[in-house]
């Protein structure tokens, strides 16, 4: 054995093992004080004590839906303190639960939509989405071309002999669904020869994203909104793959949210600032809707194409639309039972 390879005495090795085990046992038993844990967190994270206390506590907190009322209160207070310090403005984190007798639903008039995308930008601003590199957008507005079948394309099919397998008009854009442009910046809208099809989270009654989540960090609330407990998301992205509506986004890097643009009115399960490595999506602006307000996208729509309300209330706008208009749900054949409906006058 070389001089550098000095053998560690067995009694010292055993002593180290015991002390490490003892530390873990003390954590499990709750005998270590908060100051001790905070000090350890500061050393581990290299952060300030205030930030270390918050992040250390977050690592060890329960899934939000399993917390007691007191634990929820403590988690919310930690976040309010941290966000207030981080963004330099008084930040509130609401924990309002679902209201009884409410099942939220959404209806969108695709005949009226002009593709202005104001809903997209209002959503980004309201819900504290990352602003660049990349900008995360929960709402997609698809721009699709109108097209026609023409005589000149009739002889372009192949093979050319009797029994043509591919017709010459096969590649026309008329009626093409979900293959339009997702990002566009025209000088004027609506653009000639185009129509628009907005999409976002459908808040399914039978959500496939919930079914595949291995840690149950995403779940359906009693008012029908599918939410995410960001602190418990492990970043596996199975929900992203399972969603047939392209409704989920993933934070590949640290979210870019300028302090002066941060919306300080937040909800724990909604628009509070997210972190790297978690999924996020539309939550029907529950920080607003659970206070009796419209979603940001409904409020900003200049042509009144978007409607929102309680599906259990016969007098709500959305229920009246379901009763009186020609309504359909996207990809109904998948049995996801969306609560987001499209209609035409």
Radius of gyration of the CA atoms of the chain, in A: 26
- Greater pLDDT, 185 or 130: 130
Residue 236's pLDDT band (cuts 50, 70, 90): very high
Sign of CA dihedral 158, 162, 165, 171: positive
Give me the pLDDT at residue 71, please.
95
Mean pLDDT of 300-328: 97
Give me the pLDDT at residue 2, please.
47
- CATH code of the domain occupying 104-141+199-344: 3.30.70.20
Instruction: Please give the model's pTM, rounded to 2 decimal places.
Output: 0.81
Q: Are strands 104-109 and 340-344 parallel, antiparallel or unpaired?
A: parallel
**pLDDT tens across 52-69, in order?**
666 777 888 999 999 999
Quote the CA–CA distance of 81 and 158 in Å, as a whole number.
67
Give me the pLDDT at residue 82, please.
92
Give me the pLDDT at residue 269, please.
98
Mean pLDDT of 231-249: 97
Quote the CA–CA distance of 34 and 31 in Å, as a whole number.
9
| Domain spans, the chain | 10-60, 104-141+199-344
In the chain, the percentage of residues whose pLDDT exceeds 90 is: 66
Mean pLDDT of 131-159: 89
Q: Are strands 249-250 and 104-109 parallel, antiparallel or unpaired?
A: unpaired
Mean pLDDT of 40-54: 54
**Strand positions, DSSP E, the chain:** 92-94, 104-109, 140-145, 194-199, 218-220, 226-228, 249-250, 265-267, 279-280, 306-310, 326-328, 340-344
* Least confident interval from 73-87, 148-162, 188-202, 277-291: 148-162
Mean pLDDT of 309-329: 97
Mean pLDDT of 168-178: 74
Name, of 159-163, 190-194, 309-313, the range with top average pLDDT: 309-313
């Amino acid at each position: 054995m070389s001089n550098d390879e000095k053998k560690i005495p067995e009694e010292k090795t055993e002593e180290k093992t015991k002390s490490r085990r003892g530390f873990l046992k003390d954590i499990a038993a709750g005998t270590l004080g908060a100051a001790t844990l905070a000090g350890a967190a500061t050393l581990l994270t290299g952060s300030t004590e205030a930030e270390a206390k918050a992040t250390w506590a977050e690592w060890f907190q329960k899934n939000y839906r399993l917390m007691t009322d007191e634990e929820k209160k403590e988690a919310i207070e930690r976040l309010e303190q941290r966000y207030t310090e981080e963004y330099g403005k008084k930040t509130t984190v609401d924990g309002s639960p679902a209201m009884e007798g409410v099942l939220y639903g959404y209806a969108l008039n695709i005949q009226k939509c002009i593709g202005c995308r104001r809903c997209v930008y209002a959503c980004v601003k309201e819900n504290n989405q990352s602003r660049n590199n990349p900008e995360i957008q929960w709402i997609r507005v698809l721009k699709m071309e109108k097209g026609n079948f023409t005589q000149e394309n009739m002889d372009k099919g192949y093979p050319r002999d009797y029994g043509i397998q591919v017709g010459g008009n096969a590649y026309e854009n008329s009626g093409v669904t979900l293959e339009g442009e997702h990002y566009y910046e025209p000088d004027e809208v609506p653009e000639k020869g185009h129509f628009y099809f907005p999409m976002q989270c459908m808040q399914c009654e039978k959500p496939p994203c919930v079914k595949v989540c291995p840690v149950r960090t995403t779940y359906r609330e009693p008012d029908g909104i599918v939410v995410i407990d960001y602190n418990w998301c492990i970043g596996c992205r199975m929900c992203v793959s399972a969603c047939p509506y392209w409704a989920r986004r993933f934070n590949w890097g640290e979210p870019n949210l300028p302090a002066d643009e941060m919306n300080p009115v937040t909800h724990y399960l909604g628009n509070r600032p997210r972190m790297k490595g978690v999924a996020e999506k539309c939550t029907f602006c529950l920080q607003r809707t659970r206070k009796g307000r419209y979603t940001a996208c409904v409020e900003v729509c200049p042509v009144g194409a978007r409607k929102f309300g309680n599906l259990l209330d016969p007098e709500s706008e959305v229920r009246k639309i379901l009763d009186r208009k020609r309504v359909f749900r996207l990809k109904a054949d998948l049995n996801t039972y969306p609560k987001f409906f499209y209609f035409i006058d």
